[in-house]
Amino acid sequence: MQTSHIVPITINVGKRKIDIFPFWLLFLICGFGLGIYGGYEVFTKGLQVTGLSNQVPWGLWISIDLSSIALGGSAFVFGVIVYLLRIERFKRVGMVAVLLGFLGYSTAGMVLLFDLGQPLRFWHPIVYWQPHSLLWEITMCVVLYLSVLLAELLPVVVEHPLFHSHPIYEKRPFMRKIANIVQKLSHILHKAGPVLAVIGLTLSILHQASLGATYGVLSGRGLWFSQSAPVIFVLSAVVGGTCLLFVASVLIFRIMRPGLVKDEIFYDIARFAGAAALLCLYIRMWDWAVTNYYSFDLEVALQTELLNKVAPYATSFWIGQILFAVIPGFVLLSARRIKNMKVLSFFAVMPMICTVLTRWNYNLSGLIAQITYDPFTPSVVLNTYTPTWQEWAVGIGVVSYWLIAFTLAAQFLPFQGENGHHESHTEEEVPQAA
């Protein structure tokens, strides 16, 4: 099986070049070990070791959960581009998008195991249906979509030479039979790509929109009682996920496997992300105007005032959610003129931060300063929340899992497509260094 040469990422120490892969992996394993210890504390002692309460039941973990799901949004976008629109030049990049989608949703699943008060009852939504609940619908969509992503990821993993030739197959013939079965299943799933893309698109839009609608139906949230929240959640996932895909693709296909993907493809991804960022910003600004400028709701104004007292809420909004969208939007749209991957990657990180801040604010700010449900004398209550070390440890652990899995995939998977083992890629030009 022909695979592209993988260039190791090194740093210069004196006159020596040192491969950072083993040190980076060791660092991440330590972070994952910290997460295991924090998770043990949560499982054995319960949620009482966290800073969560009845007033603030969602905190750091759910913010990581929503952010990881949003940053995996490129999977359903490029599933449509590759399998439905048949734009084949994005095929290899689409494989990375599937990887990012699976890592994002599996990370969310890990976080939820800790966030549930009864983690052994994680299967209850699948058996005990609550069709009138938005959270039940989100749970079912996430479970089903994670299954779709697993089916889409299998052909990417089976590309590894381990499934095609290995000395153990001569000593253990049954291992060869298992590998053949896995390859046949992978081929079937690859042929079913268009069907999986349609299913994935449907499930993604459903649960991304429902995540925003969860806040929109709660009038007690006041500041977050927004009818456009479902659209904002979908578009912000497209923006954040595509920007993460751009950065990951530059690392995999331009630094580690130079020449496997042309620069024009990177520019197209950047331009798409820039256009989506500006569209999402346009809707977000109208949403802000309707909620804050044209609204005469005194409770909303009081919420904003209280949030500014305990945190730089307004500053984080105008810088993190506005400037971090408008400036990168125009820069990424000009990718073909800039032609500098370092500059484009730097500005692609900003919309990712914007996406995370959007999830954080929707999730946490409405709980910190919330309107009471008294219909006669409504008032705004200011709650407090500080994550404990167990919460930080679990958060570091699940993020380390994401980074470990991505690091191993970037290091060992070929990313050449189903027929990469008998195709030649010499016709593609090797791009110039950024």
Residue 234 lies in domain = 218-384
Predicted pLDDT of residue 431: 43
Predicted pLDDT of residue 222: 66
Predicted pLDDT of residue 225: 67
Return phi, psi of residue 312, to 5°: -75, 65
In this structure, is residue 110 part of a structural domain? no
In this structure, is residue 362 part of a structural domain? yes
Tell me how far apart the alpha carbons of residues 338 and 408 are, in angstroms, rounded to a whole number: 31
In this structure, is residue 177 part of a structural domain? no
β-strands 369-371, 16-19 pairing? unpaired
Predicted pLDDT of residue 418: 53
pLDDT in tens, the chain (434 residues): 444 578 888 888 878 888 899 999 999 999 999 999 999 999 999 999 999 988 888 889 999 999 999 999 999 999 999 989 999 999 999 999 999 999 999 999 999 989 887 888 888 889 999 888 888 998 999 999 999 999 999 999 998 888 888 778 778 888 888 888 988 998 899 899 899 999 999 999 999 988 888 876 665 566 766 778 889 999 999 999 999 999 999 999 999 999 889 999 999 999 999 999 999 999 999 888 887 777 666 677 777 888 888 778 888 889 988 999 999 999 999 999 999 999 999 999 999 999 999 888 887 777 787 777 666 666 778 888 899 999 999 999 999 999 999 999 999 998 886 544 434 333 344 444 43
In this structure, is residue 264 part of a structural domain? yes
In this structure, is residue 142 part of a structural domain? no
Per the CB < 8 A criterion, the answer to whether 141 and 134 are in contact is no
Q: How many domains does the chain have?
A: 1
- pTM: predicted TM-score of the whole model, two decimal places: 0.90
- Burial annotation 97-118 (CB, 10 A radius, 16+ → b, else e): bbbbbbbbbbbbbbbbbbbeee
Predicted pLDDT of residue 2: 43
In this structure, is residue 118 part of a structural domain? no
Tell me the one-letter amino acid at 104.
G
Please give the span between the terminal C-alpha atoms of the chain, in angstroms, as a whole number. 30
Which residues neighbour 171 within 8 Å (Cβ) at sequence distance 6 or greater? none
In this structure, is residue 109 part of a structural domain? no
Predicted pLDDT of residue 143: 92
Q: Considering just the CA atoms, what is the radius of gyration of the chain in Å?
A: 23
Tell me how far apart the alpha carbons of residues 329 and 235 are, in angstroms, rounded to a whole number: 13
Tell me how far apart the alpha carbons of residues 304 and 308 are, in angstroms, rounded to a whole number: 6
Per the CB < 8 A criterion, the answer to whether 183 and 163 are in contact is yes
Per the CB < 8 A criterion, the answer to whether 265 and 10 are in contact is no
Q: Tell me which H or E stretch contains 371.
A: strand 369-371
In this structure, is residue 322 part of a structural domain? yes
